[in-house]
Copies of this chain bind each other. A is one copy, B any other.
Amino acid sequence: MTSVEGESLERQAWIALAHVVEPGDRQVGRLVLSEGPRAVVDRIVDGTTGLRHQGALAARLDSVALFAAEERAASCQARIVTRADREWPSQLDDLGEAAPYALWVAGAANLRLAALRSVAMVGARACTGYGEEVARCWAAELAGEGWAIVSGGAFGIDAAAHRGALAADGMTGCVLAGGVDVPYPRAHDALIARIADDGLVVSESPMGESVRRQRFLTRNRVIAALTRATVVVEAAERSGTMATAQAATAMNRPLFAVPGPVTSPASAGCHRMIRDAQAVLVGSVDEILGMLDLGRPEGGGHGRRSERDALTVVERRVLDALPGRRAVDPQEASRLAGLAAEDTWAALGVLEAAGWVTHEPGGWRLAPGRA
Protein backbone atom coordinates (compact mmCIF):
# COMPACT_ATOMS: atom_id res chain seq x y z
CA MET A 1 0.00 0.00 0.00
CA THR A 2 1.43 3.39 -0.96
CA SER A 3 1.27 6.39 1.34
CA VAL A 4 -1.30 7.97 -0.98
CA GLU A 5 -3.51 4.89 -0.60
CA GLY A 6 -3.03 5.07 3.16
CA GLU A 7 -4.07 8.70 3.24
CA SER A 8 -7.11 7.92 1.15
CA LEU A 9 -8.06 5.03 3.43
CA GLU A 10 -7.70 7.26 6.48
CA ARG A 11 -9.91 9.86 4.85
CA GLN A 12 -12.54 7.20 4.13
CA ALA A 13 -12.35 6.08 7.76
CA TRP A 14 -13.06 9.63 9.00
CA ILE A 15 -16.02 9.90 6.62
CA ALA A 16 -17.32 6.53 7.79
CA LEU A 17 -17.07 7.59 11.44
CA ALA A 18 -18.84 10.87 10.66
CA HIS A 19 -21.72 8.80 9.25
CA VAL A 20 -22.09 6.20 11.97
CA VAL A 21 -21.11 7.95 15.21
CA GLU A 22 -23.51 10.39 16.84
CA PRO A 23 -21.87 13.86 17.12
CA GLY A 24 -20.18 14.32 20.46
CA ASP A 25 -20.08 10.58 21.32
CA ARG A 26 -17.15 10.56 23.77
CA GLN A 27 -16.88 6.78 24.06
CA VAL A 28 -16.05 6.32 20.41
CA GLY A 29 -14.05 9.56 20.49
CA ARG A 30 -11.80 8.14 23.21
CA LEU A 31 -11.16 5.00 21.16
CA VAL A 32 -10.35 7.10 18.07
CA LEU A 33 -7.88 9.23 20.01
CA SER A 34 -6.00 6.17 21.23
CA GLU A 35 -6.21 3.87 18.19
CA GLY A 36 -6.82 6.08 15.16
CA PRO A 37 -9.82 6.13 12.80
CA ARG A 38 -9.00 3.08 10.68
CA ALA A 39 -8.57 0.77 13.65
CA VAL A 40 -11.87 1.95 15.12
CA VAL A 41 -13.75 1.38 11.84
CA ASP A 42 -12.20 -2.11 11.72
CA ARG A 43 -13.36 -2.76 15.28
CA ILE A 44 -16.91 -1.67 14.43
CA VAL A 45 -16.90 -4.07 11.46
CA ASP A 46 -15.41 -6.90 13.56
CA GLY A 47 -17.72 -6.24 16.51
CA THR A 48 -14.79 -5.67 18.89
CA THR A 49 -15.25 -2.08 20.10
CA GLY A 50 -16.40 -3.41 23.46
CA LEU A 51 -19.00 -0.61 23.57
CA ARG A 52 -22.61 -1.20 24.59
CA HIS A 53 -23.79 0.42 21.36
CA GLN A 54 -21.49 -1.69 19.18
CA GLY A 55 -24.53 -3.29 17.51
CA ALA A 56 -26.03 0.08 16.59
CA LEU A 57 -22.73 1.36 15.21
CA ALA A 58 -22.27 -1.78 13.06
CA ALA A 59 -25.84 -1.60 11.79
CA ARG A 60 -25.38 2.03 10.75
CA LEU A 61 -22.08 1.23 9.05
CA ASP A 62 -23.85 -1.50 7.06
CA SER A 63 -26.67 0.73 5.97
CA VAL A 64 -24.93 3.93 4.88
CA ALA A 65 -23.93 4.36 1.28
CA LEU A 66 -20.39 5.47 2.06
CA PHE A 67 -19.15 5.02 -1.51
CA ALA A 68 -21.63 7.65 -2.71
CA ALA A 69 -20.98 10.19 0.04
CA GLU A 70 -18.54 12.39 -1.86
CA GLU A 71 -20.61 12.27 -5.02
CA ARG A 72 -23.74 13.18 -3.15
CA ALA A 73 -21.98 16.17 -1.56
CA ALA A 74 -20.57 17.28 -4.91
CA SER A 75 -24.02 17.15 -6.49
CA CYS A 76 -25.03 19.90 -4.03
CA GLN A 77 -21.84 21.95 -4.55
CA ALA A 78 -20.56 20.72 -1.21
CA ARG A 79 -17.40 18.87 -0.16
CA ILE A 80 -16.33 16.74 2.76
CA VAL A 81 -13.41 18.03 4.83
CA THR A 82 -11.96 15.39 7.14
CA ARG A 83 -9.38 15.55 9.89
CA ALA A 84 -6.92 14.18 7.32
CA ASP A 85 -7.43 17.15 4.98
CA ARG A 86 -5.39 20.31 4.66
CA GLU A 87 -8.60 22.41 4.93
CA TRP A 88 -9.43 20.92 8.35
CA PRO A 89 -9.69 23.69 11.00
CA SER A 90 -7.35 22.17 13.54
CA GLN A 91 -8.74 24.16 16.48
CA LEU A 92 -11.70 21.74 16.36
CA ASP A 93 -9.29 19.17 17.81
CA ASP A 94 -9.49 21.19 21.07
CA LEU A 95 -12.81 19.39 21.54
CA GLY A 96 -10.78 16.25 22.27
CA GLU A 97 -12.96 13.16 22.57
CA ALA A 98 -15.94 15.19 21.33
CA ALA A 99 -14.23 16.56 18.20
CA PRO A 100 -16.01 15.98 14.85
CA TYR A 101 -14.46 13.53 12.36
CA ALA A 102 -15.45 15.39 9.22
CA LEU A 103 -17.42 18.43 8.14
CA TRP A 104 -19.65 18.90 5.12
CA VAL A 105 -18.86 22.30 3.66
CA ALA A 106 -20.70 24.36 1.03
CA GLY A 107 -19.03 27.56 -0.16
CA ALA A 108 -15.98 28.63 -2.09
CA ALA A 109 -13.84 29.94 0.77
CA ASN A 110 -11.21 27.89 2.58
CA LEU A 111 -12.77 26.83 5.90
CA ARG A 112 -9.42 26.57 7.66
CA LEU A 113 -8.36 30.10 6.71
CA ALA A 114 -11.74 31.62 7.51
CA ALA A 115 -11.84 29.93 10.92
CA LEU A 116 -8.40 31.26 11.88
CA ARG A 117 -9.83 34.76 12.01
CA SER A 118 -13.40 34.22 13.11
CA VAL A 119 -15.75 35.18 15.91
CA ALA A 120 -18.95 33.38 16.91
CA MET A 121 -21.92 35.66 17.37
CA VAL A 122 -24.90 33.94 18.90
CA GLY A 123 -28.00 34.74 20.90
CA ALA A 124 -31.68 34.47 21.48
CA ARG A 125 -34.15 33.56 18.77
CA ALA A 126 -36.71 35.69 20.64
CA CYS A 127 -34.48 38.74 20.60
CA THR A 128 -35.43 42.39 20.91
CA GLY A 129 -35.00 45.14 18.33
CA TYR A 130 -32.05 46.35 20.40
CA GLY A 131 -30.32 42.95 20.27
CA GLU A 132 -30.97 42.61 16.56
CA GLU A 133 -29.47 46.04 15.90
CA VAL A 134 -26.36 45.33 17.99
CA ALA A 135 -25.85 41.95 16.26
CA ARG A 136 -26.26 43.42 12.79
CA CYS A 137 -24.04 46.46 13.37
CA TRP A 138 -21.29 44.65 15.25
CA ALA A 139 -21.20 41.76 12.76
CA ALA A 140 -20.84 44.29 9.93
CA GLU A 141 -18.07 46.10 11.80
CA LEU A 142 -16.17 42.93 12.69
CA ALA A 143 -16.57 41.57 9.16
CA GLY A 144 -15.26 44.90 7.86
CA GLU A 145 -12.16 44.32 9.98
CA GLY A 146 -11.62 40.98 8.25
CA TRP A 147 -13.20 38.72 10.86
CA ALA A 148 -15.51 35.90 9.76
CA ILE A 149 -18.81 35.87 11.67
CA VAL A 150 -19.90 32.36 12.59
CA SER A 151 -23.41 31.59 13.79
CA GLY A 152 -26.18 29.01 13.62
CA GLY A 153 -28.62 30.40 11.05
CA ALA A 154 -31.47 30.59 13.57
CA PHE A 155 -34.11 33.30 13.92
CA GLY A 156 -33.19 36.39 15.88
CA ILE A 157 -29.58 37.16 16.78
CA ASP A 158 -28.07 34.44 14.54
CA ALA A 159 -29.76 35.73 11.40
CA ALA A 160 -28.99 39.36 12.25
CA ALA A 161 -25.30 38.48 12.66
CA HIS A 162 -25.15 36.66 9.32
CA ARG A 163 -26.99 39.50 7.59
CA GLY A 164 -24.73 42.14 9.10
CA ALA A 165 -21.63 40.36 7.81
CA LEU A 166 -23.16 39.84 4.36
CA ALA A 167 -24.20 43.49 4.17
CA ALA A 168 -20.58 44.49 4.81
CA ASP A 169 -19.40 42.12 2.05
CA GLY A 170 -17.67 40.18 4.79
CA MET A 171 -17.21 36.51 5.49
CA THR A 172 -19.84 34.59 7.39
CA GLY A 173 -20.16 30.91 8.26
CA CYS A 174 -23.36 29.12 9.18
CA VAL A 175 -23.04 25.89 11.15
CA LEU A 176 -26.18 23.78 10.69
CA ALA A 177 -27.51 21.04 12.97
CA GLY A 178 -28.72 18.95 9.99
CA GLY A 179 -27.15 18.32 6.57
CA VAL A 180 -25.92 21.30 4.57
CA ASP A 181 -28.65 20.47 2.02
CA VAL A 182 -31.33 20.68 4.74
CA PRO A 183 -31.56 24.39 5.55
CA TYR A 184 -33.15 24.99 8.94
CA PRO A 185 -35.27 26.88 9.80
CA ARG A 186 -36.99 26.58 6.44
CA ALA A 187 -37.91 30.25 6.50
CA HIS A 188 -34.15 30.92 6.20
CA ASP A 189 -33.80 28.95 2.92
CA ALA A 190 -32.79 32.05 1.02
CA LEU A 191 -30.48 33.39 3.73
CA ILE A 192 -28.64 30.06 4.03
CA ALA A 193 -28.37 29.77 0.24
CA ARG A 194 -26.87 33.26 0.14
CA ILE A 195 -24.37 32.29 2.86
CA ALA A 196 -23.37 29.24 0.78
CA ASP A 197 -22.83 31.57 -2.18
CA ASP A 198 -20.86 34.28 -0.37
CA GLY A 199 -19.56 32.47 2.72
CA LEU A 200 -19.59 28.97 4.12
CA VAL A 201 -22.32 26.58 5.25
CA VAL A 202 -20.94 23.84 7.46
CA SER A 203 -22.26 20.75 9.24
CA GLU A 204 -20.88 17.63 10.85
CA SER A 205 -24.06 15.81 9.80
CA PRO A 206 -24.02 14.00 6.44
CA MET A 207 -26.10 15.22 3.53
CA GLY A 208 -29.83 14.73 3.96
CA GLU A 209 -29.73 14.42 7.76
CA SER A 210 -32.64 16.20 9.36
CA VAL A 211 -32.21 18.27 12.51
CA ARG A 212 -32.83 16.63 15.86
CA ARG A 213 -33.14 18.27 19.23
CA GLN A 214 -29.88 16.85 20.56
CA ARG A 215 -27.97 17.99 17.48
CA PHE A 216 -28.59 21.68 18.22
CA LEU A 217 -26.59 21.26 21.40
CA THR A 218 -23.78 19.28 19.75
CA ARG A 219 -23.78 21.82 16.88
CA ASN A 220 -23.22 24.63 19.37
CA ARG A 221 -19.91 23.10 20.50
CA VAL A 222 -18.70 23.27 16.87
CA ILE A 223 -19.55 26.99 16.68
CA ALA A 224 -17.58 27.63 19.86
CA ALA A 225 -14.62 25.46 18.84
CA LEU A 226 -14.35 26.79 15.30
CA THR A 227 -13.89 30.41 16.40
CA ARG A 228 -11.40 32.52 18.32
CA ALA A 229 -14.05 33.94 20.66
CA THR A 230 -17.79 33.89 21.21
CA VAL A 231 -19.97 37.00 21.51
CA VAL A 232 -23.39 36.49 23.12
CA VAL A 233 -25.70 39.36 22.14
CA GLU A 234 -28.90 38.46 23.98
CA ALA A 235 -29.80 35.31 25.89
CA ALA A 236 -32.59 34.42 28.28
CA GLU A 237 -31.57 32.82 31.56
CA ARG A 238 -32.12 29.23 30.36
CA SER A 239 -31.42 28.85 26.69
CA GLY A 240 -29.47 27.02 24.05
CA THR A 241 -27.24 30.06 23.78
CA MET A 242 -26.04 29.35 27.30
CA ALA A 243 -24.89 25.91 26.03
CA THR A 244 -22.73 27.54 23.35
CA ALA A 245 -21.32 29.85 26.02
CA GLN A 246 -20.62 26.84 28.25
CA ALA A 247 -18.77 25.15 25.38
CA ALA A 248 -16.65 28.25 24.77
CA THR A 249 -15.79 28.44 28.47
CA ALA A 250 -14.95 24.73 28.62
CA MET A 251 -12.36 25.31 25.87
CA ASN A 252 -10.95 28.44 27.50
CA ARG A 253 -12.08 30.50 24.51
CA PRO A 254 -12.84 34.13 25.36
CA LEU A 255 -16.54 34.63 25.98
CA PHE A 256 -18.00 38.12 25.56
CA ALA A 257 -21.51 39.17 26.55
CA VAL A 258 -23.42 42.30 25.56
CA PRO A 259 -25.33 43.99 28.40
CA GLY A 260 -28.78 45.45 27.95
CA PRO A 261 -31.55 47.02 30.01
CA VAL A 262 -32.19 45.19 33.29
CA THR A 263 -35.86 45.46 32.36
CA SER A 264 -35.33 43.19 29.33
CA PRO A 265 -35.54 39.40 30.02
CA ALA A 266 -33.67 38.86 26.72
CA SER A 267 -30.53 40.26 28.41
CA ALA A 268 -30.86 38.29 31.65
CA GLY A 269 -28.62 35.44 30.50
CA CYS A 270 -25.90 37.89 29.41
CA HIS A 271 -26.10 39.66 32.75
CA ARG A 272 -25.85 36.38 34.65
CA MET A 273 -22.75 35.32 32.69
CA ILE A 274 -21.14 38.70 33.36
CA ARG A 275 -22.00 38.67 37.06
CA ASP A 276 -20.69 35.13 37.45
CA ALA A 277 -17.47 36.18 35.68
CA GLN A 278 -18.09 33.56 33.01
CA ALA A 279 -18.23 36.23 30.31
CA VAL A 280 -16.55 39.61 29.89
CA LEU A 281 -18.87 42.57 29.35
CA VAL A 282 -18.31 44.24 25.97
CA GLY A 283 -19.74 47.60 25.01
CA SER A 284 -18.31 47.98 21.52
CA VAL A 285 -16.54 46.23 18.66
CA ASP A 286 -13.36 48.11 19.57
CA GLU A 287 -13.40 46.46 22.97
CA ILE A 288 -13.78 43.03 21.35
CA LEU A 289 -10.92 43.72 18.96
CA GLY A 290 -8.81 45.02 21.82
CA MET A 291 -9.31 41.82 23.75
CA LEU A 292 -8.78 39.57 20.72
CA ASP A 293 -5.50 41.41 20.22
CA LEU A 294 -4.36 40.11 23.58
CA GLY A 295 -4.23 36.77 21.81
CA ARG A 296 -1.57 38.03 19.42
CA PRO A 297 2.04 37.16 20.16
CA GLU A 298 2.88 40.60 21.55
CA GLY A 299 0.07 40.10 24.06
CA GLY A 300 1.77 37.03 25.44
CA GLY A 301 0.42 34.42 27.80
CA HIS A 302 -2.43 32.08 27.20
CA GLY A 303 -3.71 33.56 23.96
CA ARG A 304 -0.34 33.27 22.32
CA ARG A 305 -0.12 29.58 23.02
CA SER A 306 -3.59 28.81 21.82
CA GLU A 307 -3.10 30.72 18.58
CA ARG A 308 0.08 28.83 17.80
CA ASP A 309 -1.72 25.65 18.73
CA ALA A 310 -4.14 26.34 15.89
CA LEU A 311 -1.24 25.97 13.44
CA THR A 312 -0.18 22.64 11.96
CA VAL A 313 3.29 21.21 12.55
CA VAL A 314 4.25 22.26 9.02
CA GLU A 315 2.99 25.82 9.48
CA ARG A 316 4.85 26.17 12.77
CA ARG A 317 8.02 24.85 11.12
CA VAL A 318 7.75 27.48 8.37
CA LEU A 319 6.96 30.19 10.91
CA ASP A 320 9.94 29.30 13.08
CA ALA A 321 12.26 29.13 10.05
CA LEU A 322 11.59 32.72 8.91
CA PRO A 323 14.42 35.10 9.75
CA GLY A 324 13.75 37.78 12.33
CA ARG A 325 13.98 40.93 10.20
CA ARG A 326 14.47 40.37 6.50
CA ALA A 327 12.08 39.11 3.84
CA VAL A 328 12.73 35.82 2.06
CA ASP A 329 11.43 34.39 -1.19
CA PRO A 330 9.50 31.10 -1.11
CA GLN A 331 12.49 29.09 -2.34
CA GLU A 332 14.61 30.33 0.56
CA ALA A 333 11.75 29.81 3.03
CA SER A 334 11.38 26.27 1.78
CA ARG A 335 15.13 25.66 2.18
CA LEU A 336 15.20 27.22 5.68
CA ALA A 337 12.22 25.13 6.79
CA GLY A 338 13.50 21.97 5.11
CA LEU A 339 10.14 21.40 3.47
CA ALA A 340 8.84 20.87 -0.05
CA ALA A 341 8.22 24.17 -1.90
CA GLU A 342 4.54 23.30 -2.35
CA ASP A 343 4.00 22.71 1.40
CA THR A 344 5.92 25.87 2.26
CA TRP A 345 3.78 27.98 -0.11
CA ALA A 346 0.57 26.60 1.37
CA ALA A 347 1.81 27.21 4.89
CA LEU A 348 2.80 30.81 4.07
CA GLY A 349 -0.72 31.40 2.78
CA VAL A 350 -2.24 30.22 6.05
CA LEU A 351 0.28 32.20 8.09
CA GLU A 352 -0.52 35.33 6.13
CA ALA A 353 -4.27 34.89 6.58
CA ALA A 354 -3.74 34.49 10.31
CA GLY A 355 -1.59 37.62 10.47
CA TRP A 356 1.71 35.91 11.34
CA VAL A 357 3.53 36.90 8.16
CA THR A 358 3.17 39.56 5.51
CA HIS A 359 3.76 39.32 1.79
CA GLU A 360 5.73 42.16 0.23
CA PRO A 361 7.42 42.74 -3.10
CA GLY A 362 10.70 41.56 -1.49
CA GLY A 363 9.15 38.29 -0.33
CA TRP A 364 7.70 36.99 2.94
CA ARG A 365 8.55 38.31 6.38
CA LEU A 366 7.32 38.07 9.94
CA ALA A 367 4.48 40.52 10.58
CA PRO A 368 5.41 43.63 12.61
CA GLY A 369 5.38 42.87 16.31
CA ARG A 370 5.99 39.17 15.70
CA ALA A 371 9.69 39.37 14.97
* A280-B284 in contact (CB<8A): no
* A283-B271 in contact (CB<8A): yes
* A284-B262 in contact (CB<8A): yes
Judged by a CB distance under 8 angstroms, whether A86 is at the interface is no
Count residues of A near B (Cβ-Cβ below 8 Å): 22
Judged by a CB distance under 8 angstroms, whether A369 is at the interface is no
- A264's closest neighbor in chain B, by CB? B261
Q: Which of B134, B258, B281, B284 contacts A274 (CB 8 A)?
A: B281
Judged by a CB distance under 8 angstroms, whether A275 is at the interface is yes
Judged by a CB distance under 8 angstroms, whether A330 is at the interface is no
A274–B277 alpha-carbon span in the complex (Å): 10
A274–B271 alpha-carbon span in the complex (Å): 11
* A275-B281 in contact (CB<8A): yes
Judged by a CB distance under 8 angstroms, whether A34 is at the interface is no
> Which residues on B sit within 8 Å (CB–CB) of A283?
262, 268, 271-272, 275
Interface string of A73-84 (1 = CB under 8 A from B): 000000000000
Interface residue ranges of A249-289 to B (CB < 8 Å)? 258-263, 267-268, 271-272, 274-275, 277, 280-284, 287
A260–B259 alpha-carbon span in the complex (Å): 6
A271–B287 alpha-carbon span in the complex (Å): 11
A134–B262 alpha-carbon span in the complex (Å): 8
> Which residues on B sit within 8 Å (CB–CB) of A268?
283
* A261-B260 in contact (CB<8A): yes
> Which residues on B sit within 8 Å (CB–CB) of A280?
275
Q: Most B CB atoms within 10 A — which of A130, A261, A272?
A: A261
> Which residues on B sit within 8 Å (CB–CB) of A282?
262, 275
A287–B271 alpha-carbon span in the complex (Å): 11
Q: Ordered nearest first, which 7 A-B pairs have the shortest CB separation?
A: A259-B259, A271-B283, A262-B283, A275-B281, A274-B281, A271-B281, A130-B261
**B-binding residues in A (CB < 8 A):** 130, 133-134, 258-263, 267-268, 271-272, 274-275, 277, 280-284, 287
